[in-house]
Amino acid sequence: MTTRTVLNSFLAREQAEGQGARVRRSIGTSNLRNFTPFLMLDHFNVTPGIGGFPSHPHHGQETITYITEGAMAHEDFTGSAGILYPGDLQFMTAGKGVVHSEIPVKLKDDPTKACVGMQLWVDLPENLKNCPPRYRDLKGGEIPIAKPNDKVEVKVISGSSYGVGSLRDLAYTPVCYYHYTVKPGGEFKQEVPTDFNSFIYLMQGDLSINKKTYKQHNAVFFNRDGDHIEGKNDSDKDVSFVLIGGAVLDQRIVQYGPFVETSSEKIQEVFRNYQFGINGFEKAQEWQAKIDIGVNEGDVVGNKS
C-alpha cells in the first residue's frame, strides 16, 4: 500500500453567506475553485430567526448536507420537505432544476441554538445533468460506525472503512464520505479508490499527516499517488474531521452560482430556463417555501422523524 502525498492545504476563512449565515468555505474559493467532482464545501453556522438559505435554485449538481449541531428544515418546489437533526444527512440531486429552501429551526429548549454542519456540492456527470431532481435523507441512527480500536471512531456515511460498509450509495457521482473522531495518540489509515480525488477538512482539533501538523479549519488535499491516507493525533485533545473522496469527472466545469454545466452555451440556456420558468423550472415563478419565514420546533415540515 502507498500513502497519498499532500497536494495543497489552506485555512478555510469565515465569511458571510445567505441571510445571516457564516461559513468557512474551502473548495469554491480563490484558493481552490474546484476539485473534481467537488464544486464547493461550506462549514456553516446559522442562528434561527437571524438567517438561513431561503428559496434559491440549483441545476446540474448534487448537494450533501450533514448536520452536526442544531436542526435544519428544508423544502422544495417538488413537494419534498423535512427536518434534519444532529447526525442526519440529506443527499439532494438538483439535476434538471430545483428551487429549495434551507432554514435553521428554533429549538424549544434553546431558541438561539445555532445550526452547524457541512454542505458539499458535487458535480453531476454530463449525461445526468438533466435528470429529474430527487432527495434521499439518511438519519444519524442509520449510519454504521467502525471502531478499529479505543482511539478511533468512523461514521461510515458512504463507502467502506475498517471492514464496515455504508448503508447504500446515495449520490449519482461515486463518493466516499467518512466522519472521523480520533483521540490523543490515535492513528488512522483510510483506503481510497485510486481514481478518486480526496481531501480532509478539520472540524475540530489538529491532525498530523505525513509528519506535518494541520490546524483546525484547515482543508488538506491529496495527490492521486497512493491508495490510502493516514494520519495521527499528536495533540492532547480529540480531533474531528471529514475525509471525503469522489470519482474524477473528465469534463469541463462551467459554473454560474448554483448552476453547473459543461459549456457557456449550456449555462446560458439554463439561466434562460430559470428566468422564463421552462424546461424544469415551471414552478419557479410562483413557488416560495413556507419555511422562508422561519421554523419553530414542533412545526410540521414534511415527514419529521
Predicted local confidence at residue 41, as pLDDT: 98
Residue 50: per-residue pLDDT: 81
Identity of the amino acid at 213: T
In what helix (H) or strand (E) does residue 274 lie, and over which residues does it extend?
helix 264-276
Whether 261 maps to a domain, the answer reads no
Question: According to the 3-state scheme, what is the secondary structure of 238-268?
Answer: CEEEEEEEEECCCCCCEEECCEEECCHHHHH
Determine if residue 58 is labeled as part of a ligand binding site.
yes
| Per-residue confidence (pLDDT) for residue 301, from 0 to 100 | 78
In a domain, 267, yes or no: no
Residue 100 is labelled as binding a ligand: yes
Phi (first) and psi of residue 160, to 5 degrees? -145, 135
Find out whether 56 is annotated in a ligand binding site.
yes
Residue 302 confidence (pLDDT): 65
> Residue 1 falls within a domain, yes or no?
no
**Are the C-beta atoms of 270 and 257 separated by less than 8 Å?**
no
Q: Residue 164: which CATH number?
A: 2.60.120.10
CA distance 160 to 237: 26
CB 221 within 8 A of CB 6: yes
Residue 207 lies in a domain: yes
User: Does residue 284 lie within any of the structural domains?
Assistant: no
User: What is the model's pLDDT at position 304?
Assistant: 40
Q: What is the pLDDT along the chain (305 residues), one digit of tens a residue?
A: 899 999 999 999 999 888 888 999 999 999 999 999 999 999 999 999 887 999 999 999 999 999 999 999 999 999 989 999 999 999 999 999 999 999 999 999 999 999 999 999 999 999 999 999 998 889 999 999 999 999 999 999 999 999 999 987 778 999 999 999 999 999 999 999 999 999 999 999 999 999 999 999 999 999 999 999 999 999 999 999 999 999 999 999 999 999 999 999 999 999 999 999 999 999 998 899 999 999 998 886 764 43
Say what the pLDDT of residue 305 is. Answer: 36
What domain range includes position 217? 6-247
Q: Is the residue at 150 inside a domain? A: yes
**Identity of residue 198:** S
Is residue 91 within 8 A of residue 136, CB to CB? The reply is yes
pLDDT at 3: 98
Q: Is residue 66 part of a domain?
A: yes
CA dihedral 172, 41, 155, 247 (to 10 degrees): 40
Assess if residue 140 is contained within a domain: yes
Q: What is the pLDDT of residue 300?
A: 67
How many separate domains does the chain show?
1
Residue 43 assigned as binding residue: no
